[in-house]
Amino acid sequence: MPKLKPLGDRIVVKPLTQEEVTKSGIVLPDTVEKEKKEQGEVVSIGDGEKIKKLGLKVGDTVLFGKYAGEDVELDEGNEKVEYKVLKDEDVLAVIQ
């Protein structure tokens, strides 16, 4: 759990990295530019009214735009962990 508490109508998500494999079996690494939506796990939720209306909870997996939100990198132990801070309008869907 990051020591990052979002304010207002924002959430903190830990992006899920995923490699994409083409039909011919070529693995496209995460660094290849792809116009696709991203997924992340909700790790912290602000206390704004709009974000409360979405009914999100810690542990949910959400879908958001590739360029949505702000990137944040935190030192956690011996490693750097990347997070995204998203506004309520950046969350496109909850994956069930």
At 74-94, the pLDDT tens digits run 888 888 889 999 999 999 999
Q: What count of residues does the chain have?
A: 96
90 vs 18: which has the higher pLDDT? 90
pTM above threshold 0.75: yes
At 49-70, the pLDDT tens digits run 999 999 999 999 999 988 899 9
> Tokens 């009914």 sit at which residue?
55
Q: Which run of H or E residues covers position 53?
A: helix 49-53
Domain covering 10-95: architecture: Roll (2.30)
Residues 6+ apart with CB under 8 A from 83: 2, 4, 12, 13, 14, 15, 43, 71, 72, 73, 74
Q: pLDDT over 70 for what percent of the chain?
A: 77
